Chains A and B, each alone.
Chain A
């Protein structure tokens, strides 16, 4: 073997080490371009297919928690179904409370405590609101705000809107 042969041998080795794995990869996947290059996107497909939008927040009836002078403390369970294949945390809810008839702002609401909603499962969170007008019996309240969800450190902010009637009977829940 002389130097020229060695030189050619090393060039061929370089080519084989470069081209060989590419051919082997395509052969392993039955010469399917997409399967070879892309592989499995896993749960990422969930996020790109807009599945999150199918997770709806459904407000239940208002409950009066406390009445202190003209301040009324209200509570409201909100149901949410996690459509994704991984857990998400309801981090925060921030709502403004309006009287639906004239859009007069009555107060604000927030999340009582964070809640982890398991994959493809329903969950319920509790929103606390404080309104300032006591003459609301039977009135329709309009809630407008946002919900913040945490999925693996990504903060997803989605709008929240609901219309709920003020309780017709004053019953204080402890």
Chain B
């Protein structure tokens, strides 16, 4: 008598799982380890910037350039996303619990905001570099850098010395993964709100 009851319960539980949230949670935990989202290279290896909200690697003339503040802040961001991913995972596996809605609310839009902030920051940086730097001094009048992705060649003139520097920017696959996670996160929240099985919604009410 007990076995069918147990399997019925199990079937009900499996049916109640927010699978979008489970996938989003797992991907959120993996995201900080997926590598840089965006890369900027000046020359061949004169300056190489490989960055994501979780890690900023800058190499100048073959040697790393470090900022303690950036390193710690990136660690904090990575920890936030991992914790949010764990919350999403637990809340999606146990959607009938009273805390699940709140935990999904905590994690659902974290990556979305990171993606938005990242695009805005990179675009703003290129905008400032292209529109403001050339006007600041005659030496920088030939400076230009690509917006998010592409390549340019800048020429800087300092007295008699001219420096020609090819600049290349590219988006990496980890950024595409971040966009997927952001969409899944939003999807998880929508599912939790609108498509939750009626029984669970009643329990909550």
Most chain B CB within 10 A, of A6, A36, A152, is at: A152
CA distance A86 to B76 in the complex (A): 35
Contacts of A86 in B (CB 8 A): 61-62
| B116 beta carbon closer than 8 Å to chain A | no
**Chain B interface size range:** 35 or more
Among A6, A40, A42, the residue within 8 A (CB) of B61 is A42
**Number of A-B residue pairs with CB-CB distance less than 8 Å in the complex they form:** 109
**Would B65 and A39 count as touching, CB distance under 8 A?**
yes
* Selected interface stretch from A24-32, A109-117, A133-141, A162-170: A24-32
**Would B164 and A151 count as touching, CB distance under 8 A?**
no
* Selected interface stretch from A14-22, A70-78, A100-108: A14-22
Contacts of A22 in B (CB 8 A): 69, 72-73, 76
Nearest CB of chain A from residue B98's CB, rounded to whole Å: 6
**Would B68 and A28 count as touching, CB distance under 8 A?**
yes
- On chain A, the number of residues with a Cβ less than 8 Å from chain B's Cβ atoms is 41
Closest to B157 in A: A157
Among B75, B83, B165, the residue within 8 A (CB) of A21 is B75
Q: Which of B99-155 contact A (CB under 8 A)?
A: 99, 102-103, 106
CA distance A85 to B61 in the complex (A): 9
Contacts of A46 in B (CB 8 A): 61
Among A10, A41, A158, the residue within 8 A (CB) of B65 is A41
**Would A7 and B83 count as touching, CB distance under 8 A?**
no
CA distance A53 to B79 in the complex (A): 46
| A13 beta carbon closer than 8 Å to chain B | yes
| A122 beta carbon closer than 8 Å to chain B | no
CA distance A56 to B195 in the complex (A): 74
**Would A36 and B43 count as touching, CB distance under 8 A?**
no
**Would B45 and A14 count as touching, CB distance under 8 A?**
no
Among B65, B67, B98, B164, the residue within 8 A (CB) of A155 is B164
**Would B165 and A154 count as touching, CB distance under 8 A?**
yes
Binary A-proximity of B53-91 (CB < 8 A = 1, otherwise 0)? 000000011111111110111011001100100000000
Nearest CB of chain B from residue A21's CB, rounded to whole Å: 3
CA distance A7 to B87 in the complex (A): 13
Binary A-proximity of B177-194 (CB < 8 A = 1, otherwise 0)? 000000000000000000
Binary B-proximity of A55-72 (CB < 8 A = 1, otherwise 0)? 000000000000000000
| B42 beta carbon closer than 8 Å to chain A | yes
A153-B166, A154-B164 given. 14 additional CB < 8 A pairs? A6-B99, A7-B102, A13-B83, A17-B80, A18-B76, A22-B69, A25-B68, A37-B67, A39-B65, A42-B64, A44-B61, A53-B161, A151-B46, A152-B62
A-contacting residues of B (Cβ < 8 Å)?
A: 42-47, 60-69, 71-73, 75-76, 79-80, 83, 98-99, 102-103, 106, 160-166
